[in-house]
Amino acid sequence: VLPFPSQVVYNRVGKCGSRTVVLLLRILSEKHGFNLVTSDIHNKTRLTKNEQASMELIKNISTAEQPYLFTRHVHFLNFSRFGGDQPVYINIIRDPVNRFLSNYFFRRFGDWRGEQNHMIRTPSMRQEERYLDINVCILENYPECSNPRLFYIIPYFCGQHPRCREPGEWALERAKLNVNENFLLVGILEELEDVLLLLERFLPHYFKDVLSIYKNPEHRKLGNLTVTVKKTVPSPEAIQILYQRMRYEYEFYYYVKEQFHLLKRKFGLKSHIRKPRPRPEFFIPSPLETEEPIDDEEDDEKWLEDIYKR
């Protein structure tokens, strides 16, 4: 019997399926009896120097009743740097341009829940800004559609250092290092069912039966309510510009995707890894299907035990 982590942090990246996963976690926490600690802070991903020095957030997390799973939109925190026990981190990312587009239209028009949550989240947004054409925003280089706003995913893995918010190699490499050293799993939203399968394998105390719950028609109905509405597809020219502006985000995305596919193969899930195209396929959603397992003779239980001990 492998030991299971009693402290898990899901520092969820915005618009990467996190609301779907949190819905699942609420069900799972009642089913399996772990402490789900959620934060009502949604728009503060970075801590000030004083907040880092006081270690208030880390203390609050560390003193939660174990086993716990803490979730919040927050950039990576190194607990051990402040004398705390480093928890197990998990996260999910998605194609960077698709994430950006989902966020762009969600801020303006919300989702199918019908609670006018876009007006709650962006009450001061002027009408001309709310209805700003996405192509105009990109092609005319509005702040919302250019760096550093587009440098969004990497800081969640790079951390709290000021340089983590600067698009460049330093933040990229530090994010990769943290993925390797501090994250048990970083999944890909386009392959969510496989992400859930691996979470159930790695963290059964938290995620046992997650896939059957996810596939339940009633849960699917709830999940569909969180789909962003009024999304439109930018022109090919605008998408190409976004792709160039987000080149570091894509380098990180492809790195994580490759690692995720290697992990899937190790645990018997087939993947067809293709070389990156000149620009991503934004118009064809990836199927959320799990293929037949393949034979794997490696000692994956030993590998998993080593992960827990790191």
Question: Does the active-site annotation cover 32?
Answer: no
Q: Which helix (H) or strand (E) holds 116?
A: none
Give the side-chain half-sphere CA count within 13 A for 31: 15
Q: How far is CA 147 from the centre of its chain?
A: 20
Q: What is the DSSP letter of 45?
A: -
The answer to whether residues 94 and 260 touch, using CB atoms and an 8 Å cutoff, is no
Cα distance between residue 28 and residue 263, in whole Å:
24
Listed residue (149, 2, 11) closest to 78, CA to CA? 11
Is the Cβ–Cβ distance between 34 and 67 less than 8 Å? yes
The DSSP string of 163-182 is GGGS-SHHHHHHHHHHHHHH
Which of these is catalytic: 73, 161, 205, 219? 73
Q: Residue 14 burial by CB count (10 A; 0-12/13-18/19+): exposed, middle or buried?
A: middle
Coil, strand or helix at 141? coil
240's tokens: 């190409």
Q: Which two tokens stand for residue 116?
A: 């006018």
Within the chain, residue ranges assigned H as helices are 18-32, 49-54, 56-62, 96-109, 117-121, 127-130, 134-139, 155-158, 169-182, 192-202, 204-207, 210-215, 217-224, 236-245, 247-266, 300-309
Rounded Cα gap, residues 242 and 10, in angstroms = 28
Catalytic residues: 73
